[in-house]
Amino acid sequence: MKAEGVTIRVRGQVQGVGFRPFIWQLAREFGLRGRVWNDPEGVGIEVAGPGTDAFIAAISARAPGLSRIDAVEVAAFAGALPEGFEIAESRGKGAQTRVTPDAATCPDCAAEIRGAGRRGGYAFTNCTHCGPRFTILRGLPYDRAQTTMAAFPMCADCLSEYRDPADRRFHAQPVACPACGPRLWLEVGGQERPGDPVAQAALRLKAGEVLAVKGLGGFHLACDAANATAVARLRDRKHRPSKPLALMGRAADLARVAVLGDADLALLHDPAAPVVLVPSRGVLPDGVAPGMATLGVMLPYTPLHHLLCDAFGGPLVMTSGNLSGEPQVVGNDEARKKLGGFADAFLCHDRDIARRLDDSVERATPPMVLRRARGRVPGTLPLPPGFGGAGQVLALGGQMKGAICLVKNGQALLGHHLGDLDDALCAEEFGKAVADYTALFDHRAEVVAVDAHPGYRATQAGRAMGLPLVEVFHHHAHLASCLAENGWPLEGGPVAGIVLDGTGLGPDGTIWGGEVLLGDYLGFERHAALRPAPLPGGDRAARDPWRNALMRLDQAGLTDWADELFGGRPLDTVRQAAARGINAPQSSSAGRLFDAFAAVLGLCADAQTYEGEAAMRLEAMAGGAGQGLPFAVSGGLIDPAPLWAEVRRAIRRGEPRGLLAWRFHAGLAAAFAGVARDLVLRGAARAVVLSGGCFQNPLLHDLTVQALGDVPVLTHRVTPANDGGLALGQAVIAAARGLRGAERN
């Protein structure tokens, strides 16, 4: 029957979130007839009836919690419609719509696995409101045949739920039960053990064993967080002497070991279920997070994790299951091979993981994302005003904290954390991710954007693609990534960017890392920078903080104090190499200044066992409040030389080292904020941007914001300030250049 109605196109994150049954129920509520379907562009609806206007308004107002609507487009329709309202088969192939990230177990499913029904105790329970999405997806549209659940034909009961629009499992692609779905088992020495695998796993954890647990995006290594011997055993086996270990537990378990504010609890309960950094109560063994004042904690986010945490009854260490520096293990055979030397037993299942995803790591206060991964990808960001008409761009990020970014249809898709590409297997994962995202999202890059450093593996990969290439300087990409996240318009005017990080190549051929830039998407100039110092030994300077301290103290005329503090090390050899410029590049790195200051206070002087250890310990040590340490600011240089003499005097008069650590942060913040604030006040810039990995230090972040006063400040909240956000900046810079070139033509 033909009817005068409308066609509605809903774009955004609208597949795999229960959107079609939501539309079906909404149409019944308003007495409408028509149909709804999935296709590569999102969700399509054809509908007619007197309540159409109210129906359209309710689509956005009452959309499912996991959905993200970008647009609701309405046009006239005069075709044939059914008498009632139906959910039609998916149409077409390809990908214009967004894919839903994996979502933590919803309250209904959590209650169901603890009940007496047929899914009681079932580790793979899910519905349209929760469960695996991106980690099981092989292609679009998002249908069961395109996921790793295709190997598990539904039983009659599950199929009935799947086909019932009134059921919360209607078209939930991973729907399963013990009769037809994935199974769980515990194995020791390659042999499956009979009995309840969760109960056995909990007993082994209570006995101090280390377990490999197959989760959503890969394996974890788990042990009793309150058992110092078990924690030490895990560290010894994994050769991870001091990097903090993430924890998992029920909310009540976590509250006993960490201070959880309202914002922390809200973030922990977010469907993304990230690891959240929170203040420690200091009741767990020091080995969990040596030298840290915070803990990384997360709630159980799959039914398996809920059941395991219930059976164990306390916080568990839950750290990535991988060899040092390598990607997280995802396959059962791979786990047996690589984790066999770490784990006493394996808690495995037979649902394949389509792509490995580490846990996301975030803070609630101030809001920031340190690692963007499971639960956050493949979420997209809208391009800022002025970027309409931007072509398809592929940006490949940097060498550390690899991530890629795709621009298409007015959206930027920043991919998941891939690790450090100096590791061969992480570089291999990088190549897989480029192919995976390109195919999954039907992306046809017109240009590829890369870091200007010729030695980066991502840069080399981009050059080999045969596409038009845009080279972006490292710190310009940091600035642009923060602008893009905040929706700064293409014609929004220049900003003052305080960019503080480890190292990145600058246009002058030196290594930057402590800059005040004046610029926008299309260009920049370096307005001020930390006074450069040599990095003796090149990359070794990033591992051995005493080397940076030696250079900075010598620079300040305090050679005698350097000899006193660091005697017994090859000081003369290092000094001679630096003086001759032998493997000692000049650098303005703020990260290396943090290392130098930490070494002077006796933190990690000889070596860091993981990236950022010295700076993290310095931030954890900081306490009290006082006058910031002095920096000299003149002629575009921010010189730390004056602070060293003050520190020497303060130590001799017995000033607490925690106070000195706080004063260092305050002095650095004030020096850079003063330069940037002046650019805004005299009209050269319209706002200040804070970017670079150093701004993941919450103390530095807050002190800098305070020092900037009432000028507009843009910060990272949903993308990483560190190199994990570089690809977003590269992508929008390339897009901006393309648009400007099109204007000229």
Query: Sorting pLDDT into bands at 50, 70 and 90, what band is 592?
Result: very high
Distance between CA atoms of 126 and 350, rounded to whole angstroms? Answer: 16
Q: What is the pLDDT of residues 377-389, one digit of tens each?
A: 998 999 999 999 9
pTM of the model: 0.94
Distance between CA atoms of 426 and 404, rounded to whole angstroms? Answer: 13
pLDDT at 68: 87
pLDDT at 171: 83
Mean pLDDT value across residues 518-539: 97
Specify whether the CB–CB gap between 745 and 715 falls below 8 A: no
Query: Sorting pLDDT into bands at 50, 70 and 90, what band is 745?
Result: very low
Q: Is 9 annotated as catalytic? A: no
Task: Return the amino acid letter for 356.
Answer: R
Distance between CA atoms of 714 and 496, rounded to whole angstroms? Answer: 10
Tell me, letter by letter, the H, E, C secondary structure of 321-380: CCCCCCCCCCCHHHHHHHHCCCCCEEEEECCCCCCCCCECEEECCCCEEEECCECCCCCE
Distance between CA atoms of 84 and 32, rounded to whole angstroms? Answer: 7
Cis peptide before 141 (omega within 30 of 0): yes
Give the three-class secondary structure for 544: coil
Q: Give me the residue spans of the domains in the chain.
A: 5-87, 184-362, 378-484+720-744, 499-504+508-520+527-714
Distance between CA atoms of 237 and 239, rounded to whole angstroms? Answer: 6
Mean pLDDT value across residues 577-592: 95
Query: Sorting pLDDT into bands at 50, 70 and 90, what band is 661?
Result: very high
Report angle CA 102, 219, 192 to the nearest 5 degrees.
Answer: 120
What CATH code would you report for 378-484+720-744?
3.30.420.360
Of 33-42, 121-130, 258-267, 428-437, the range with the lowest mean pLDDT is 33-42
Which one is predicted more confidently, 21 or 300? 300
What order of strands is seen across the sheet that includes strand 361-363? 191-193, 184-188, 345-349, 211-214, 219-224, 316-320, 247-248, 294-298, 275-279, 361-363, 368-371
Residue 191 has pLDDT above 60, yes or no: yes
CATH class of the domain at 184-362: alpha beta
Please, what's the b/e burial string for 44-75 (b: 16 or more CB within 10 A of its CB; e: otherwise)?
Answer: bbbbbbeebeebbebbeeebbebbebbebeee
Mean pLDDT value across residues 700-713: 98
Q: Is 20 annotated as catalytic? A: yes
Residue 326 has pLDDT above 90, yes or no: no
The answer to whether the 378-484+720-744 and 499-504+508-520+527-714 domains have the same CATH topology is yes
Per-residue CA distances from 744 to 407, 472, 739 (Å): 22, 21, 9
Residue 370 has pLDDT above 60, yes or no: yes
Token pair for residue 130?
Answer: 């929760």
Average pLDDT taken over every residue of the chain: 95
Mean pLDDT value across residues 541-555: 96
Of 80-89, 223-232, 725-734, the range with the lowest mean pLDDT is 80-89
Which of 111, 457, 442 is closest to 306 using CA atoms? 111
Distance between CA atoms of 324 and 293, rounded to whole angstroms? Answer: 24
Residue 562 has pLDDT above 90, yes or no: yes
Which of 327, 316, 331 is closest to 210 using CA atoms? 316
Percent of the chain whose pLDDT exceeds 90: 88
Q: For tokens 């070139």, name the residue.
A: 741
Q: What is the pLDDT of residues 5-49, one digit of tens each?
A: 999 999 888 887 888 889 999 999 999 999 999 887 889 999 999
Mean pLDDT value across residues 487-494: 97
What CATH code would you report for 499-504+508-520+527-714?
3.30.420.40
pLDDT at 93: 66
Which of 366, 368, 380, 382 is closest to 487 using CA atoms? 382
Report, in angstroms and rounded to the nearest whole number, the Rg of the chain calculated over CA atoms.
27
Tell me which of 20, 144, 351, 457 is the catalytic residue. Answer: 20
For 20-53, give the DSSP string. Answer: HHHHHHHHHHTT-EEEEEEETTEEEEEEESTTHH
Mean pLDDT value across residues 506-535: 97
Q: What is the pLDDT of residues 391-419, one digit of tens each?
A: 999 999 999 999 999 999 899 999 999 99
Query: Sorting pLDDT into bands at 50, 70 and 90, what band is 687?
Result: very high
Mean pLDDT value across residues 74-83: 90
Mean pLDDT value across residues 247-252: 98
What CATH code would you report for 5-87?
3.30.70.100
Tell me which of 38, 227, 322, 486 is the catalytic residue. Answer: 38
Residue 96 has pLDDT above 70, yes or no: no
